[in-house]
């Protein structure tokens, strides 16, 4: 990317922020909106308000800190309107590579100390892989094979927290926000997306959501198909035409009962290093109890049992057409991993989990602006040719005084910004990112 390309990126960013300004409310919010987005993209390290103030206004860090803090924590602008505008501006760039194929529901967590920040509770923290003090957010994303983007973002508050009136008031949680389990939050996000006319896709969910029969029923009631991960203990009854036992059994037990010819090795996509393949079986089943089985439509149970493993590793239920090709079915099921890439980039490169305020409005405003900044980078992916350099100059930032250090920060050693398309194998395993274009980097 040459200088002209860099200037074009800067111009596109200015137009993008101008589009967001049109839904932000008062005109005096335009500058802090721009500066907050610039800070999220250009600041190195932690993306809390003070470092972003130093990046965007190095000559007046204290005043800029107050402006940005007020904008994100107190200004009453609408997260829903901003996210809708983000979707309207970025969706055409995604759909140039094909229609939306999937809606992905999932959640992500942010470790957090103390008990006063909104929603903080001792609960399962996926980022740490154990129970810990953290905040958990439920998201809905749209995706095709080119890109994915979160379009809804809502904090989950455990019941104990949600029913604590004093903490609710201090954190400025709206009165109409009651306790809701994560699957219910996800279902409401999908209802909203249907009402908003979002391009529909197959709903993808992992076993923590897909094992919830009420959620699966709710998805079907919205006339949406799903590929839902489930736990091995979910009970089903195999359809008699498949020749499998008709009694109800766990999907794990059913997998072990299938004859050898039921299993096929499928290659569903070319990965970064080699082909992505595994061994799968599919069988038509019903999940309702026997006394009600005739009232429920059949679904397809998809099972993955890699060669060399002692037992199957994954199970899905899907309402997709039973005649869909085996390879296409698996390709769709595996698209759910796109959200893992989004979460990683949003956290590591945009600072999604770096908000240090305690209130409900600021927490969601920060998340919205992180998604807005990330969406701009998603729209810029195609501006970098495969043979081009791995970084492009999108933004430049003012020189920060050498003496500046965020409060409590050690003197940093100079390091280069991590590349957005690089993933430690210990974190992502063999997840497929082969069709994800390189993410533009920031010129610092």
* pLDDT at position 127: 82
* pLDDT at position 246: 67
Domain count, the chain: 2
- Classify residue 12 as exposed, middle or buried by CB count within 10 Å of its CB (0-12, 13-18, 19+): middle
Residue 435 has pLDDT above 70, yes or no: no
Q: Are residues 200 and 313 in the same domain?
A: no
Question: What dihedral do alpha carbons 86, 351, 384, 146 form, nearest 10°?
Answer: -60
Has residue 143 been placed in a domain?
yes
Mean pLDDT of the 154-175 span = 89
* pLDDT at position 106: 96
* pLDDT at position 275: 76
Reference 316, options 257, 256, 255, 268; nearest CA is 255
Residue 415 has pLDDT above 50, yes or no: no
Is 324:225 a contact under the CB 8 Å cutoff? no
Has residue 327 been placed in a domain?
no
Residue bearing tokens 């209130």: 359
Q: Are residues 355 and 294 in the same domain?
A: no
**Cβ count within 10 A of residue 383:** 17
Is 39:55 a contact under the CB 8 Å cutoff? yes
Q: Sign of torsion, CA 156 157 162 166?
A: negative
Pairing of strands 299-304, 235-238: unpaired
In angstroms, the CA 261 to CA 258 distance is 8
Q: Are residues 151 and 17 in the same domain?
A: yes
Has residue 19 been placed in a domain?
yes
Q: Are residues 158 and 95 in the same domain?
A: yes
**Which of residues 391 and 71 earns the better pLDDT score?**
71
Q: Are residues 409 and 349 in the same domain?
A: yes
Has residue 434 been placed in a domain?
no
Q: Residue 237 belongs to what domain range?
A: 226-319
Q: Are residues 300 and 191 in the same domain?
A: no
In angstroms, the CA 272 to CA 434 distance is 5
In degrees rounded to 5, what are phi and psi of residue 105?
-105, 140
Q: Are residues 234 and 375 in the same domain?
A: no
pLDDT range class, residue 95, cuts 50, 70, 90: very high
pLDDT range class, residue 79, cuts 50, 70, 90: very high
The first and second tokens of residue 242, run together, are 């498949």
Q: Are residues 13 and 161 in the same domain?
A: yes
pLDDT range class, residue 268, cuts 50, 70, 90: confident
Is 137:108 a contact under the CB 8 Å cutoff? yes
Mean pLDDT of the 174-199 span = 94
In angstroms, the CA 159 to CA 213 distance is 21
Residue bearing tokens 């019941």: 159
* pLDDT at position 266: 92
Q: Are residues 141 and 230 in the same domain?
A: no
Angle at which helices 30-42 and 49-56 cross, to 10°: 100
* pLDDT, tens digit, 9 for 90 and up, residues 239-257: 775 445 568 899 999 999 9
**DSSP symbols for 44-63:** -S--SHHHHHHHH-TTSHHH
Does residue 10 sit in helix, strand or coil? helix
Does residue 388 sit in helix, strand or coil? coil
Q: Are residues 8 and 149 in the same domain?
A: yes
**Cβ count within 10 A of residue 75:** 17
pLDDT range class, residue 409, cuts 50, 70, 90: very low
In order of 41, 144, 384, 432, the CA distances from 96 in angstroms are 25, 10, 15, 21
The first and second tokens of residue 301, run together, are 């149970």
In degrees rounded to 5, what are phi and psi of residue 330?
-70, -40
In angstroms, the CA 157 to CA 163 distance is 9
Has residue 215 been placed in a domain?
no
Residue 19 has pLDDT above 90, yes or no: yes
In angstroms, the CA 400 to CA 412 distance is 14
Residue 335 has pLDDT above 50, yes or no: yes
Could you list the beta-strand ranges (E) of 59-146: 102-111, 121-125, 130-143
Has residue 433 been placed in a domain?
no
> What whole-number percentage of the chain has pLDDT above 90?
62
* pLDDT at position 291: 53
* pLDDT at position 384: 56
* Mean per-residue pLDDT over the chain, rounded: 83
Is 24:82 a contact under the CB 8 Å cutoff? yes
Burial 129-146 (b: 16+ CB within 10 A, else e): eeebbbbbbbbbbbbbbb
Has residue 36 been placed in a domain?
yes
Of how many residues is the chain composed? 444
Has residue 311 been placed in a domain?
yes
* pLDDT at position 440: 41
Q: Are residues 122 and 173 in the same domain?
A: yes
Q: Are residues 182 and 79 in the same domain?
A: yes
Residue 389 has pLDDT above 90, yes or no: no
412 contact partners, CB below 8 Å, separation of at least 6? 44, 45
In this prediction the pTM is 0.83
C-alpha triplet 63, 172, 46: angle, nearest 5° = 45
């Amino acid at each position: 990317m040459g200088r002209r390309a860099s200037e074009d990126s800067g111009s596109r960013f200015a137009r993008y922020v101008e589009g967001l300004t049109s839904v932000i409310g008062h005109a005096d919010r335009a500058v802090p909106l721009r500066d907050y987005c610039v800070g999220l993209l250009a600041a190195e390290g932690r993306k809390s308000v003070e470092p972003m103030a130093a990046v965007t206004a190095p000559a007046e860090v204290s005043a800029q800190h107050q402006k940005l803090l007020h904008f994100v924590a107190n200004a009453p602008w609408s997260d829903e309107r901003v996210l809708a505008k983000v979707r309207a501006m970025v969706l055409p760039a995604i759909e140039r590579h094909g229609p939306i194929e999937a809606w992905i529901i999932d959640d992500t967590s942010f470790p957090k100390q103390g008990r006063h920040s909104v929603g903080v509770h001792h609960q399962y923290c996926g980022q740490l892989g154990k129970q810990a003090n953290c905040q958990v957010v439920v998201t809905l994303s749209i995706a095709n094979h080119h890109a994915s983007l979160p379009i809804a973002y809502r904090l989950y508050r455990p019941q104990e927290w949600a029913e604590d009136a004093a903490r609710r008031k201090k954190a400025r949680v709206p009165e109409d926000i009651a306790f809701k389990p994560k699957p219910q939050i996800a279902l409401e996000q999908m209802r909203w997306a249907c009402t908003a006319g979002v391009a529909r896709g197959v709903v993808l969910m992992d076993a923590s959501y897909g094992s919830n029969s009420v959620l699966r029923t709710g998805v079907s009631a919205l006339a949406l198909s799903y590929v839902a991960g489930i736990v091995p203990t979910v009970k089903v009854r195999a359809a008699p035409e498949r020749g499998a036992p008709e009694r109800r059994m766990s999907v794990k037990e059913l997998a072990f009962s299938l004859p050898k010819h039921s299993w096929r090795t499928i290659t569903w996509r070319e990965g970064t290093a080699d082909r992505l393949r595994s061994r799968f079986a599919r069988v038509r089943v019903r999940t309702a109890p026997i006394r009600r089985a005739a009232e429920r439509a059949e679904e397809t149970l998809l099972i993955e049992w890699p060669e060399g493993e002692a037992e199957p590793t994954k199970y899905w239920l899907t309402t997709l057409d039973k005649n869909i090709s085996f390879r296409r079915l698996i390709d769709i099921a595996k698209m759910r991993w796109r959200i893992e890439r989004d979460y990683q980039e949003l956290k590591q490169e945009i600072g999604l989990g770096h908000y240090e305020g305690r209130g409900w409005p600021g927490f969601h405003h920060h998340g919205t602006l992180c998604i807005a900044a990330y969406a701009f980078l998603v729209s810029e992916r195609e501006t970098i040719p495969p043979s081009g350099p791995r970084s492009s100059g999108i933004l430049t930032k003012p020189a920060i005084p050498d003496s500046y250090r965020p409060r409590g920060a050690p003197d940093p050693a100079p390091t280069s910004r991590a590349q957005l398309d690089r993933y430690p194998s210990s974190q992502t395993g063999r997840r497929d990112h082969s069709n994800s274009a390189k993410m533009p980097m920031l010129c610092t």
